[in-house]
Amino acid sequence: MQSDFGFNLDNSYARLPEILFSFQNPTPVPAPEAVLINAKLAESLGLSPQALRSKAGTAILAGNENPPGALPLAQAYAGHQFGHFTMLGDGRAILIGEQITPAGERFDLQLKGSGRTPYSRGGDGKAQLGPMLREYIISEAMHGLRIPTTRSLAVVTTGERVQRESLLPGAVLTRTAASHLRVGTFQYAAGLRDEKVLKLLADYAIERHYPDLARESNRYLGLFRETIRAQASLIAQWMLVGFIHGVMNTDNMTISGETIDYGPCAFMDTFDPATVFSSIDHHGRYAYANQPKIAAWNLARFGETLLPLIDVDQEKARTLAEDELKNFSTEYNKYFLDGMGRKLGLAEPRKDDKVLAGDLLQLMYEHKADYTNTFLDLTFQRFDQSELCRSEAFLRWQRRWQERLNANQEPWEETQDRMKQSNPAVIPRNHRVEEVLRLAVQGGDYDPLGKLLQILAAPFAHSPEQAEFAAPPDPNAAPYRTFCGT
Ligand code: AMP
Ligand code: MG
């Protein structure tokens, strides 16, 4: 059995103090059916896509059977939700185990929507098909964009209906992650006021994500520093593709630096720093332009949890942590400028390129230009496509850009290649995503969804078939809104 599937599970999380989790089996479902299996991801994990697609495989992905070596559990965590501290935990997700891949890497396998846990509070522990398919699409699109993210291995329908605003088919998503350690996991551990548990958790995080720190004299300060760096890099990458997470609560921020929790997220079409999609984000706390600031706020909460481990002298610990946190904006700006430079074709951006990029963004804002497609217009020198590109102000900007490129003395082809690798031909456009979800959920037609996934898997291919997926929404369409999808 084991060799058929390729499961090679370890359960290192289950060896941590039991106060950090609860053993919990998934709740069986009546009639599981596999609707999406990520064959490439399965193979990279050492799992057989054929076996996963079989009846026995579907039973595992639905939570009706445990794979060999599984030790299912729900993780405890806390979190600041929209700034307010709450006790949470996996309310509808269950960690099945950690798959050790043929390359020796370790990935959490987690079922999402697989029934109630001790942390479910009032929730039913279930998920609807639409939001699980949406997480599959967006997380795989992020992976295609080379942005660190949890990934989606499979979606199975359960044969049940799940009540939210309406009664719709239920589903279970299998998510993989470098780990599910969150800032909120540390907030929970710190709240226990048991330094031994906190230390075990921190050592665990170091071993899993930043093993080189083990040799450092102050490895907990190192853990803070490395998480700051990973998040600064991640948020810069979000900003560079116009991704708006939508619910950057501390429980939705990983220690690994992977994007997690695809609820109300969406990609920006028209460039506007104040863009918010989430229907519950009334004050724009998690608006596009606020994301770096919120990340720093969340990291400050992470730093606070580590203080008892950083130094016995808490004043000293606080100063050390604050000094590390100051680096967030430096690191973030560096990653952002590097990425923005490449989007403009510059291999080694200079400090003053920030002004050049900032002026372009300002023009995009004033002319209500499409963020993704403006960079494509620059890449392919299509200066007649948009109102922005035809404007006088843009012509003046373009001259400055051209002069800057000339200073590099590089053949245009090389510059263009760099731009093609940094400016995606496609993003998961909201209207496209909604359309394929509707066809799949209401009509059972998964072909358009499959096609969209294929297009989004290689956004830097710039192939002719991608062109139709690049179109922005109808300018007269109602503003796009997202919901938490719980
Ligand atoms: P999220 O907004 O997805 O980060 O979820 C916040 C918290 O609510 C987490 O603890 C989730 O596990 C929990 N949760 C979300 N949906 C449900 C549900 N349907 N049943 C139980 N818990 C849920
Ligand atoms: Mg969450």
Per-residue pLDDT of the chain (486 residues; tens, 9 = 90+): 445 999 999 999 999 999 999 999 999 999 999 999 999 999 999 999 999 999 999 999 999 999 999 999 999 999 999 999 999 999 999 999 999 999 999 999 999 999 999 999 999 999 999 999 999 999 999 999 999 999 999 999 999 999 999 999 999 999 999 999 999 999 999 999 999 999 999 999 999 999 999 999 999 999 999 999 999 999 999 999 999 999 999 999 999 999 999 999 999 999 999 999 999 999 999 999 999 999 999 999 999 999 999 999 999 999 999 999 999 999 999 999 999 999 999 999 999 999 999 999 999 999 999 999 999 999 999 999 899 999 999 999 999 999 999 999 999 999 999 999 999 999 999 999 999 999 999 999 999 999 999 999 999 999 999 999 999 999 888 889 998 766
Same domain, 253 and 164: no
Catalytic residue (choose from 108, 251, 281, 377): 251
Give a yes or no: residue 203 inside a domain: yes
Residue 462 within a domain: no
Domain boundary among 148, 177, 206: 177
Provide the domain count of the chain: 2
**Measured from the CB, is residue 89 less than 6 Å from ligand 1?**
yes
Q: How many A from CA of 228 to the centre of ligand 2? A: 20
Q: Are strands 106-112 and 93-100 parallel, antiparallel or unpaired?
A: antiparallel
- Write the residue with the smallest CA distance to atom 12 of ligand 1: 91
The verdict on residue 466 lying in a domain is no
Give the number of the atom of ligand 1 that is nearest the alpha carbon of residue 127. 19
Closest-approaching ligand to the CA atom of 164: 1
- 464 alpha carbon – ligand 1 mean position (Å): 40
Q: Which residue among 129, 180, 265, 486 has the greatest number of ligand 1 atoms within 8 angstroms of its CB, and so is best to mutate?
A: 486
Q: Is 247 in the pocket of ligand 1 (CB under 6 A)?
A: yes
CA of 66 to the centre of ligand 1 (A): 23
Q: What is the predicted pLDDT for the residue at 476? A: 86
- Residue 403 sits in the same domain as residue 479: yes
Q: Is 441 within a domain?
A: no
Closest by Cα among 439, 457, 461 to 151:
457
What is the number of the ligand closest to the CA of 77? 1
- Residues with Cβ within 8 Å of residue 151, at least 6 apart in sequence: 38, 41, 139, 140, 143, 175, 176, 177
The answer to whether the CB of 88 is under 6 A from ligand 1 is yes
Residue 444 belongs to some domain of the structure: no
Q: Does one domain contain both 246 and 171? A: no
The answer to whether the CB of 252 is under 6 A from ligand 1 is yes
164 and 188 inside one domain = no
Q: Are residues 129 and 209 in the same domain?
A: no
From the CB of 281, is ligand 1 less than 6 Å away? Answer: no
Measured by CA distance, the residue closest to atom 14 of ligand 1 is: 91
Cβ of 86 less than 6 Å from ligand 1 = no
Domain that residue 27 falls in:
9-177
Q: Mark whether 154 and 187 lie in a shared domain.
A: no
Q: Is the CB of 486 under 6 A from ligand 1?
A: yes
**In the listed set 177, 209, 238, which residue is the last one of a domain according to the structure?**
177
Instruction: Say if 463 falls within a structural domain.
Output: no
Among 162, 177, 192, the domain boundary falls at: 177
- Residue 4 located in a structural domain: no
- Which ligand ends up closest to the CA of 177? 2
Confirm or reject: Cβ of 372 under 6 Å from ligand 1: no
Has this prediction a pTM greater than 0.75? yes
Nearest atom (ligand 1) to Cα of 89: 10
251 is catalytic: yes
Q: Within this chain, do residues 109 and 189 fall inside the same structural domain, yes or no?
A: no
| Whether 304 and 337 share a structural domain | yes
Please tell me the predicted confidence (pLDDT) of residue 210. Answer: 98
Residue 424's pLDDT is what?
98
Same domain, 253 and 119: no
Whether 279 maps to a domain, the answer reads yes
117 Cα nearest atom in ligand 1: 21
- From ligand 2's centre to the CA of 255, what distance in Å? 14
User: Does one domain contain both 481 and 379?
Assistant: yes
> Which residue from 75, 80, 92, 139 has its CB within 8 A of the most atoms of ligand 1, so it is best to mutate?
92
User: What distance in angstroms lies between residue 123's CA and the mean position of ligand 1's atoms?
Assistant: 7
The predicted pLDDT at position 312 comes to 98
Give yes or no for residue 49 CB within 6 A of ligand 1: no
User: Do residues 98 and 84 share a domain?
Assistant: yes
Please indicate whether residue 30, judged by its CB atom, sits closer than 6 Å to ligand 1: no
Ligand of minimum distance to the alpha carbon of 128: 1
The answer on 171 and 204 residing in a single domain is no
